[in-house]
Structure 1
Amino acid sequence: MSNELPTVATARLLEGARYEVMPTASIADAVTTHVPRSVAVTVTAAPGKGLGATLDLATLLAGRGYQVVPHLAARMVTGRSELEDVVARLAEAGISAVFVPGGDADPPAGDYTAALDLLQDLATIDHPFTQVGITGYPESHPTIDDDVTVQSMWDKRRYATHVVSNMTFDAEHLGTWCERIRRRGVTLPLLVGVPGPVERTKLLGMATKIGVGESLRFLRKQKSVFARIAAPGFSTDRFVSRVAALSANPALAIEGLHLFTFNQVEVVETWRQRMLEEAATARVRPPR
C-alpha cells in the first residue's frame, strides 16, 4: 500500500462524515453555528424525550438547509398509523433519509418490538427515503448475542441501503467483524461509528442533560464507552486513520464515518477540519 492511499482514504471518509446529535434545547443553534451544510446530521430518539423531540429537531434543521437523518426507533412508534403520519411529516420537510434502530423503549409503545417490524411496514408505504440505515454491532450489543445481531442484519438487509455500526474502538476487531458479516451475505455499505474527540467530563455533562431516567439508561449502556474513550491508549485520530486503511479493501465496503458528537459539535468540527488539513498537507509533502 502506498503512503498516499491511507491519506486519500482518510480525507474521503472525513469529507463525507456525518454527525450524530441528541435533541436538546441548544443543539439546533450549535449545529447552525458550527456545522457546515455539507455535513449530514443524524438526530437520535430517546424514550424519555419522545419521538416528537427527534422530529421537531430534524424538521428544524432540514429547514435550515441540512441533510438530516432522524432516528425512527421502532419501539417508540405505536404502529402503522403513526408511522404514516411520521413519513408524511418528514416528506413535507424534504427529508430523504432515516435510520431505523429497534430502540430502548421498554415496554414498546405499540405494535413494533424490533426494527424489522417497522421496516416491513415502511416498505409498503409510499415514502421519500432514498437512504434507510440499520444497525450493526462490531462491539457487541449489551443485551443481544452477536449471532442474533448478525442474523438481524441479514433479515433487514432487503429493506435498507446501508449499515451504521455502533460506537467502535478497535480497528482490528472491526475488520474481523466486517469480514464475518460479508461472509454471511450482508453486503450493504458500512458507516463506521466513531466517538468524537470529546473529553470525558463533557460526556458526563451530556448524560445529565438528557434527563435523569435517560441518563441512567445511557450510562448503563455506555459504561464501557466512557472508560475506553478516556483510556490513554485510545486516539480518535489514530483510529480514524486505521479505519481509512481498512476502507482501502473494497471487500469490506466501508464507505463512511458516523461520528458520535455527544452534542459537542464545535469540538468535533474543529477536529475534523484539522484532520482534513493534515491529510491535505501529507498529500502534497514531497517524498523523502
Structure 2
Amino acid sequence: MGAAGLRALLDSVRYEVLPAKPTEDKVLAHVPRDVVVTVTASPVRGLEPTLDLTGRLAGHGYRVVPHVPARLLRDDAHLKEVVDRLRAAGVDDVFVPAGDADPPAGAYAGALPVLRRLTELGRPFTRVGVTGYPESHPLIHDDVTVQAMWDKREHATYIVSNLCFDPRVLGRWIVCIRRRDVSLPVHVGVAGPVQRAKLLAMATRIGVGESTRFLARHPSWFLRFATPGGYSPERLLTPAVAELTSPAAKVAGLHLFTFNQIAETERWRRALLDRLGA
C-alpha cells in the first residue's frame, strides 16, 4: 500500500516554476502536458512576468495556475483586469496568497478580501487555492493561520501547504486542520530534488528574492539541502505516505517546488515511478 500510495501522489503533481527567461523552454522540454504548472509572482517584478508566462504556457496546452498575490494588486479595477486576462487565456485555476510585497501595491493587505471580491465577481475561476503552513510562519501564530484557512473556505477550493521537511510535523498539521473542520483538499508542498550548489548558483544569477525568499527567512530549511548525501524528497514522503494517503487526510497530490530545476525534478519523479512500478 505504501508503494501504491506514493505512486498515486507522484501521479498527481503540480510543478511550481519561476517566471524567468528560460522557464518556458524548460517546461516545454521536460514537463508532460498532464502535469499542472504553477507560476510564482515576484514582489520586485510584479505580476506582468507571471501573467505573460501563464498565457504562453496555456497556449502550449498546459493547465497553468498563476499566483495572484493580494499585495501585488493595486485595486478592484486591477483585479478585474487580471481576471479578464487570465480568463481570455483559458485559465480556470488561480492561487491567491497574501504575498510578500511590503508595502502592498494597493488596498489589499491579505488574501481574504481578494477572495471575497472574486466571489462577488461571480467566481470566475473553477478552482482557487490558498496557503497552509505546516511549519510555523515566521510572523503569524499557528492558530491564526488555521483560522485564516477556515475564514477562506467559502471562497477557496483547495489548500497548498508551504514547505515542510519533517513528516511528523506534516502529519500532525493535517490532523490539526481536519479537527478544526478545515475540509478543503490539500496539495502537499515538497521541495524537489534541488542541490544546494545549484540553488546557490541560480540565486546568484537571478537574485535571492526571486528564488529563495522563504528559505532566507528559514535558515534551518536551507541547511536541509546540505545534509550528507544531499536532499531527496523521498526522505519526507516515504515516512509520511500512510498519513498522506489516508482518506481522512484529503490530500489531493503533491505541489513540488522546483526552484526552476525542472528537468531534474521530472527526471527524479519518473525514476521513482519506475522503481515503484518495478
Band of TM-score, shorter chain: over 0.9
- What residue in structure 1 maps to residue 239 of structure 2? 242
Question: Which is further off, 67-76 or 221-230?
Answer: 221-230
Of 74, 79, 88, which aligns to 2:75?
A: 79
Give the direction of change, closer, same or farther, for the CA distance of 1:87–1:117 in structure 2 (3 Å limit): same
> For residues 128-277 of structure 1, what are the structure 2 equivalents within 5 Å?
128-211=124-207, 214=210, 217-232=213-228, 235-277=232-274
Q: Give the deviation of 1:38 after TM superposition.
A: 0.8
* SS state at 1:123 partner: helix
* 1:53 matches 2:49: yes
Segments of structure 1 that go 5 or more residues without pairing to the other structure are 282-288
Corresponding position: 1:280 with 2:277? yes
Q: Give the match's secondary structure for 1:32.
A: helix
Give the stretch that moved more between structures: 216-225 or 69-78.
Answer: 216-225
- Is contact 1:136-1:163 (8 Å) kept? yes
State the distance in 1 between where 2:12 and 2:209 align.
34
Measured after TM superposition, the shift of residue 235 of structure 1 is 3.2
Of the three residues 48, 65, 69, the one matched with 1:69 is: 65
Aligned CA distance change for structure 1 residues 243 and 96 (closer, same or farther; 3 Å)? farther
Shift of 1:122: 0.9
In 2: Cα distance, 1:219 partner to 1:280 partner: 33
Helix, strand or coil at the partner of 2:135? coil
What is the DSSP-based 3-state SS (H/G/I as helix, E as strand, rest coil) of the residue aligned with 2:21?
Answer: coil
Task: Report whether the alignment pairs 1:117 with 2:131.
Answer: no
Query: Structure 1 residues 273 and 210 mapped into 2: Cα distance closer, same or farther (>3 Å)?
Result: same
Matched-pair contact (CA < 8 Å) for 1:163–1:188: yes
CA apart distance, 1:212: 6.0
Moved over 6 A (4+): none
Deviations 1:184-220 (A, max 9, x none): 1101111110010110011122323433655685553
Q: Distance in 2 between matches of 1:222 and 1:22?
A: 19
Among 17, 21, 29, the residue aligned to 1:21? 17
The whole-number CA distance in structure 1 between the counterparts of 2:172 and 2:225 is 21
Alpha-carbon contact 2:19-2:49 (below 8 Å) kept:
yes
After TM superposition, the structure 1 stretch with the greater mean CA deviation from structure 2, 229-238 or 29-38, is: 229-238
Unaligned runs of 5+ in 2: none
Amino acid at match of 2:78: E
Where does residue 93 of structure 1 map in the other structure?
A: 89
Q: Is 2:118–2:124's contact at 8 Å kept on the other side of the alignment?
A: no
Q: TM-score, normalised by structure 2?
A: 0.95
Counterpart amino acid of 2:51?
L
TM-score, normalised on structure 1?
Answer: 0.92
Partner Cα separation in structure 2 for residue 176 and residue 28 of structure 1: 37
The size of the alignment, in residue pairs, is 277
